Structure 1
Amino acid sequence: MSTADAGAHRTQARHTLILAVCVWMASVGNLALWQQIRALPEVSGPRGLAFALGFALGIAGLLVALVAALGWGRLLRPLLSLLLVATAVGAYFMLSYGVVIDPTMMVNVVQTDPREVGDLLNLKLALALLGLAGPGLWWVWRRPLQPQPLGRQLGVHLALIVGGLALTSGALMAIFQDFSSVMRNHTQLRYLINPLNSVWALADVAATPFKRDTRRLEPLGQDARLAPRPAGAKPPLLVLVLGETARADNFSLNGYARATTPELAREDIINQRNAWSCGTNTAASVPCLFSALPRDEFERRPYNSETLLDVLQHAGLAVLWIDNQSGCKGVCDRTPHVSTAELKDPALCSGGECFDEIMLRGLDERIAALDPERRARGVVLVLHQMGSHGPAYFKRSPPAFKRFLPECTSNALQECTREQVVNAYDNTIAYTDHVLAQTISWLKSRESAWSPAMIYLSDHGESLGENNLYLHGLPYGVAPDVQKHVPWITWLSNRYARERGISTACLKARQDERVSHDHYFHSVLGLLGVQTSAYRPELDLYRPCGG
């Protein structure tokens, strides 16, 4: 054998590499999809096997066409490597937590900070990367590619594109009756097609500037002004506590068997027991929550608008956002805001993370630093909690609040029993109960100088293993209620209720009426007496009771 022949044997053909890796991703990389399909009664038995085979061939064909279209020259192996890693990571999270990958989930990934990433790293993820991406990566990099003239490379890639699309068309036509029925009745399956789900989600996020004019910020409520206060009334001091991942079902205030909210139960609060979020993840819910638009209009908006905080500032109020999370998702960009990330309190902060009580430290000094003219009209503080952020629930509650044991002390929830997972989660709710009670206590102590009130509302809920689902982030239409049913708690001081003419007895009588994040913007404006054309009285839940 000549030296040239020996060298040829030590290289690999482009088309062989593309076909082998795409078949691997379409088959082994889609274990979560095959698991879901296996559970569908309409495609069980031999019919189900034929359906899965046709589906796999369709996915493989699309992947071949995609890689052939994008993987030119030296880009091929990095592209395949990236897709293999995305496949392995996607498969791990879909199998372990029951999540799916869609554009809103991709936004969360893009906005995730290093602290949140650390909560997701564990040995099982490393093993998944090794087992699902390792063989493919070895195949990709084991030998150099055969050199090809540009003309021949063009021919190979065009043949792969045409062949891949033909394979997909033929495979899906063969199973079309079952395919159309399954995809219509089980829409969540489309978010499990790995790694095409990640490719589509990333492309959708990248296309946002073409769907929405992100350079345009529409002014909102610039006509806002405060209604005159009664003679002798104190300026309002309203604390808006933005909860994280708190599900209403685990609040004993809502009938949960465990005493997770004993401190709030002793307070004179209004508890909206039928409140619903406008999203299932922080990146979707928080901007929607502070928007004047209802959920369906917010999702279709052609451009961004100013938020509730902007309108409050237009009205002349002093506003401050205090963050113990991963940021305000653009809501507080034009508002004074501070983060707890750099605080070094030995009792409340360790490992780059602070317990939520840290936001109550030094509040008087923070208020004193606000603009004095605005401060005289009233102050609105937003406390953005770490709350019940998972999967490392055990990190979110101090030792004194670990009432439910044993708790899961791993960020790989599948390593724990469901009882341990629920225990760890319930401990975070018990701690949130304490933080809210402490907030109310702090507000009560300021009643001589202010007219104080508090609203607590969570951004979304959480799955804790029901139907093998964990965490949150499923598309809104298919997400279970536990990811959308959220706590909404209001506390009004006697002074606040009296000066605003609000009947707390009336509000309590309406606690079971359905409300949602759509009501938040207008309810806060109404509670503060902010008059503006942006206000919609029919969405103000306090207005029927005198607010």
Structure 2
Amino acid sequence: MAVWGLALWIATVGNLPLWQKLLGLEQSLAQRGVLLAAMGLMVFGGTAAMLSLLHWPRIYRLLASVLVLVTAFNSYFMWQFQAVIDSTMMANVMHTDAHEVRDLLSWRLVVSVLLVAGPALWWIWRKPMAQHSIWAHLGRNGVGILVGLAVVVASVLAGYQGLSSLMRNQKGVRYMINPLNSAYASGILIAQQIPREARVLKKTGEDAQLGASYAAQTRGPLLMLVAGETARAQNWQLNGYPRPTTPRLAQWETQGSLVNFSAATSCGTNTQVSLPCMFSPLTREEGGDQPAHEENLLDVLQRAGLAVLWVDNQSGCKGVCDRIPNVDTHALALPGLCGGGECADTVMIDGLDARIEALDPARRARGVVLVMHQMGSHGPAYFKRRPPDMRPFQPECASATLSDCPPEQLVNAYDNTIAQTDAFLDSALQWLKARAEQGTNDTGLIYMSDHGESLGEKGLYLHGVPYAFAPEQQTHVPMVGWLSPGLQTRSGVATGCLKQRSAEPVSHDNLFHTVLGLMDVKTQVYQPGLDAFRPCAK
């Protein structure tokens, strides 16, 4: 009785976002009623079967409590942000740091979790479990599992037509079934991670070596790769957005030295997928968006003999920088740049010359590749992503509960983060230009965001929607490139030509090969067809 009562509560109250979604479908009253009944029984039976599997003395109440709390948290985030719970979202949860958790905390979250989880936790802990022999428990649990699965089968058969149509046309619904979504996603994640830990690191580009341009160079190249965070192309002034979100970059573009790539797309809809995919030798279709235990672009550059440095102002490099020198800015406490446990992105420029000087001298003399991982437009606390004097768009949303804010205030807060990225990239370009003019390096920059963001369109907020049905706001990302005259000469890549081709589609698939081509690194893994700059190389 304890199992079935708890299953009923979870299936009803714990799945209110699911029922709200189904009630909003355009169907006749009769069709909707059949669909709700079939789905309700399926969720109820599946939850009862899962709880019956766990119904053992000493562990049941603890595990059931965890499931209830997971259900409550899932419900809140699905309700507030229209999030769905799949394996990539679960991976994001596992890699969430304290700063991200802090941004998500609110009184509404606390109240919502208490309302959903409170009665269920009382039900679980109201009295001790009855003690029986192991065979009695085994028999009772087995019956519960069989009956639960029978209810699932019966509901699927009875409502097959409506359920099959729903799963084909509303694919996101399958990730809203609470807490079965979390159990399934966790299982997939574990299955992916276990073989990864057991595998030997796969080598990439073992034949990598520097090309002919290095033989008689008087100064080495220095390329800065900026991995943007949560910037969407729709709010990028250079892409035609009517608000001045990138006025400094617009000046660089007017001067003729900056190229804006207006048709860039991401490999994933969250950092956990997109960041490794950006640096992977594999395209998305080849599996670049899947967990892999293999070397990446930075390993190949380092093997060729270049100095490589990762500077992180985010929540880590997701394994990309594990084998190269890397710096985390979270420990810094620079006045005017850091506060509240995080730093403005411009902190990555501060002291950068000294960080480069600390790299291996022989490698540094050949050339340097820097990767800057931004805090960027990381939500939902957009208002924390810019300093007090960088708020050109007012009034702005000052809440992490995005649905509480008027749409125009939410957009203002987000656009302020894009303006902050504009200021950071301007600082980076000024620094690179100075090194080029001083004759220290032939310099260049490539900026590309890891994924986009939803700001309430179709009821969606944040990001992380499964790629197959993700909205364009989460996959269409900004990208810019800048090459000093010296780097244009040594690489043969002409900025004017890139401008003429800047509206052609590019994606994260191109970054690996574009950087190898630009830095003149020779290896068999380089694919000229994926080098976005190659058509402009003489």
Per the normalisation by structure 1, the TM-score is 0.95
Query: Does 2:414 match 1:425?
Result: yes
Aligned equivalent of 2:268, options 253, 269, 279: 279
Query: Does 2:4 match 1:19?
Result: yes
Task: Pick which of 369-378 and 25-34 moved more.
Answer: 25-34
Alignment of 1:39-438 (within 5 A): 39-41=24-26, 43-209=27-193, 212=196, 214-229=198-213, 231=216, 233-267=218-252, 268-298=257-287, 303-438=292-427
Q: Residue type of the partner of 1:417? A: P
Alignment of 1:491-506 (within 5 A): 491-506=482-497
For structure 1, which runs of at least 5 residues remain unmatched after alignment? Answer: 1-15
Question: How far did 1:213 drift?
Answer: 6.3
CA contact (8 A) 1:212 1:301 kept: no
* Shift in CA distance, 150/370, structure 1 to aligned 2, threshold 3 Å: same
CA offsets per residue over residues 73-121 of structure 1, 9 Å max, x none? 1211111111110111001001100110000000110011111111111
CA offsets per residue over residues 421-447 of structure 1, 9 Å max, x none? 111000000010010011000011111
CA contact (8 A) 1:71 1:79 kept: no
Work out the CA distance in 2 between the residues paired with 1:273 and 1:45: 45
User: Alignment RMSD, CA only?
Assistant: 1.4
CA offsets per residue over residues 348-407 of structure 1, 9 Å max, x none? 111110010000000110010000000000011111000000000000011221111111
CA offsets per residue over residues 48-79 of structure 1, 9 Å max, x none? 12211221111111111111112311211111
> Aligned residue for 2:468?
477
CA offsets per residue over residues 483-542 of structure 1, 9 Å max, x none? 000111001111111222211111101011011100000001111111111100000010
Q: Residue type of the partner of 1:178? A: G
Aligned sequence identity (%): 51
Work out the CA distance in 1 between the residues paired with 2:222 and 2:291: 35
| Helix, strand or coil at the partner of 1:22 | helix
CA contact (8 A) 1:122 1:411 kept: yes
| Helix, strand or coil at the partner of 2:411 | helix
Question: How far did 1:209 drift?
Answer: 4.0
Q: Residue type of the partner of 1:499? A: R
For structure 2, which runs of at least 5 residues remain unmatched after alignment? Answer: none
Q: Residue type of the partner of 2:126? A: R
CA contact (8 A) 1:214 1:303 kept: no
| Helix, strand or coil at the partner of 1:240 | strand
| Helix, strand or coil at the partner of 2:212 | coil
Q: Residue type of the partner of 2:3? A: I
CA contact (8 A) 2:273 2:290 kept: no
| Helix, strand or coil at the partner of 1:206 | helix
* Shift in CA distance, 233/254, structure 1 to aligned 2, threshold 3 Å: farther
**Off by >6 Å, runs of 4+ in structure 1:** none
Question: How far did 1:275 drift?
Answer: 0.3
| Helix, strand or coil at the partner of 1:477 | helix
Task: Pick which of 513-522 and 499-508 moved more.
Answer: 499-508
Work out the CA distance in 2 between the residues paired with 1:183 and 1:84: 25
Question: How far did 1:418 drift?
Answer: 1.1
Work out the CA distance in 2 between the residues paired with 1:96 and 1:87: 14
CA contact (8 A) 1:463 1:469 kept: yes
| Helix, strand or coil at the partner of 2:201 | strand
Work out the CA distance in 2 between the residues paired with 1:68 and 1:139: 16
CA offsets per residue over residues 140-199 of structure 1, 9 Å max, x none? 112222232323222211111111011111111111111111111111110011110011
Question: How far did 1:215 drift?
Answer: 2.6
Task: Pick which of 529-538 and 135-144 moved more.
Answer: 135-144
Question: How far did 1:229 drift?
Answer: 2.1
Q: Residue type of the partner of 1:125? A: L
Per the normalisation by structure 2, the TM-score is 0.97
Work out the CA distance in 2 between the residues paired with 1:363 and 1:190: 47
Question: How far did 1:302 drift?
Answer: 8.7
* Shift in CA distance, 303/257, structure 1 to aligned 2, threshold 3 Å: closer
* Shift in CA distance, 57/138, structure 1 to aligned 2, threshold 3 Å: same
Query: Does 2:509 match 1:488?
Result: no
| Helix, strand or coil at the partner of 2:316 | coil
Aligned equivalent of 1:441, options 410, 422, 430: 430
| Helix, strand or coil at the partner of 2:389 | helix
Q: Residue type of the partner of 1:428? A: T
